[in-house]
Amino acid sequence: MPTLRQLFLANNAQTTNFPLLLEFERAEGVYMYNTKGEAFIDLISGIGVSNLGHSNPQVVSAIKDQVDKYMHLMVYGEYVQTPQVRFAEKLISLLPGNLQSVYFTNSGSEAVEGALKLAKRFTGRAQIVACANSYHGSTHGALSVMGNEEFKQAYRPLLPGVSFIRFNELDDLELITTETACVIVETIQGEAGIRVPDAAYMKALRARCTQTGTLLILDEIQAAFGRTGKLFAFEHFDIVPDILLLAKALGGGMPVGAFIASHTIMDALKDNPILGHITTFGGHPVCCAAGLAALEVLLNENLIASVAEKEALFRKLLVHPAIKNIRGKGLMLAIELDSFDLNKKIIDRCIENGVITDWFLHCSNSMRIAPPLIITPKEIEKACKVILEAVEYYS
Ligand code: PMP
């Protein structure tokens, strides 16, 4: 009889170089449990998804309630489906400015695709500016705005008219012109190894976009919902985007994404006969019910309030000569080591010792620290002990 792992390798397409190949049976809170019942502390949160931890009872119950009512009824935006209406209403109540119109998708990549189309339609321009070392997803449009040539070259030709600026470089902002439809930027870069821009840069970026009539798209797919110590990461910089992209933690563990803009901007996708934008499953009622419950738990339990303290504890404990730097904000952190080789060995040893972590797509010498926000100081101490032991072992 083949094992599950053998079946996985044989039947499930392998599209990454180093699959972690861990087998888990259940997960609760910050812990994941393997088939032997051994507990692992999750320092990844499924890449920024499980901000409330795994199997939050209120989220699970919202999912069950909605499944009992209905699942899919119709292409998103055609019927009035309560979970989508309530979820959009709640999101809008928390957003500043005129970010008042929500379009739900199935994933982060699809939110990116929709936003790029929207920017083209609204501005009537075709040029797109993106940042070096960015990650916005794996579909063709999202890949076109990825700031990593190595990952893209096999898929060319991609979207025409995309140019790149350096992230957090004031000098490059002049490359945004009156020909530019949109600039797409991660508010805090994730797969680049967690890069926090300067407030002055973000303000200048906002100003340049306004000056040139370019739409500012902020991708907070990885950074929103308390991950950085604020509900939305742009709150750190006192700016508001024209289009906001959400996914990952948005669904409380269920797949849903969104692009959000003002009514005026969003209306550009409305006019017929040119097809605006449609999706069968985007904003799935069960996912919206889960997302609404997750957002309520996040706010009612005030989970964001302790994020800065938890960041400080990680920074205080993770001190070792082999740790070159800790980058990031809140519970979106990167530990910088000397090389991928060393990082990989340390990560493997952490996993053997019950702590799950990973590296970054565009920054392989850095280790990810992105636990559920509910992690306790005791659990942080436990995880840091395992990390430090592994760092020491290979130093
Ligand atoms: N943008 C950012 C910043 C991301 O981190 C990701 C996923 N890692 C995406 C977009 C793509 O999201 P998805 O995998 O849901 O398509």
Domains located in the chain, CATH noted = 4-55+302-393 (3.90.1150.10), 58-300 (3.40.640.10)
* Average pLDDT of the residues in 333-344: 97
Q: How confident is the model over 102-144, as pLDDT tens digits?
A: 999 999 999 999 999 999 999 999 999 999 999 999 999 999 9
- DSSP H helical segments within the chain, as ranges? 4-11, 45-48, 57-69, 82-94, 108-123, 140-144, 149-152, 199-212, 263-266, 285-300, 307-317, 340-352, 377-393
Rg of the chain in Å (alpha carbons): 21
pLDDT at 273: 67
Q: Residue 37 and residue 151: Cα distance in Å, rounded?
A: 37
Question: What CA–CA distance (Å, rounded) separates 266 from 350?
Answer: 46
State whether the beta carbon of 247 lies less than 6 angstroms from ligand 1: yes
3-state secondary structure at position 76: coil
Q: How far apart are CA 233 and CA 363, in angstroms?
A: 21
Q: Are 107 and 284 in contact (CB under 8 A)?
A: no
Contact 57, 45 (CB under 8 A): no
Provide the mean pLDDT of the chain.
Answer: 97
pLDDT for 187 beyond 70: yes
- Is the beta carbon of 258 within 6 A of some atom in ligand 1? no
With helix as H, strand as E and coil as C, how does 161-217 read?
Answer: CEEEECCCCHHHHHHCCCCEEEEEEECCECCCCCECCCHHHHHHHHHHHHHHCCEEE
Does the beta carbon of 117 sit less than 6 angstroms from any atom of ligand 1? no
Q: What is the pTM of this model?
A: 0.98
Q: Give pLDDT tens digits for 76-113.
A: 999 999 999 999 999 999 999 899 999 999 999 999 99
Ligand 1 atom nearest 361 alpha carbon: 8
Longest dimension (CA), the chain: 65
Say how far apart CA 379 and CA 382 lie, in whole Å: 5
How do residues 369-392 score in pLDDT, each as one tens digit?
A: 999 999 999 999 999 999 999 999
pLDDT digits (tens, 9 = 90+) for 275-326: 889 999 999 999 999 999 999 999 999 999 999 999 999 999 999 999 999 9
Q: What average pLDDT score do residues 53-62 get? A: 98
Residue 334 pLDDT > 70: yes
This complex has an ipTM of: 0.99
Please state, in angstroms and rounded to a whole number, the distance separating the CA atoms of residues 143 and 137.
6
Ligand 1: does its nearest atom lie under 6 Å from the Cβ of 222? yes
Q: Ligand 1 pocket: which of 221, 246, 250, 287 to mutate (most atoms <8 Å of CB)? A: 221
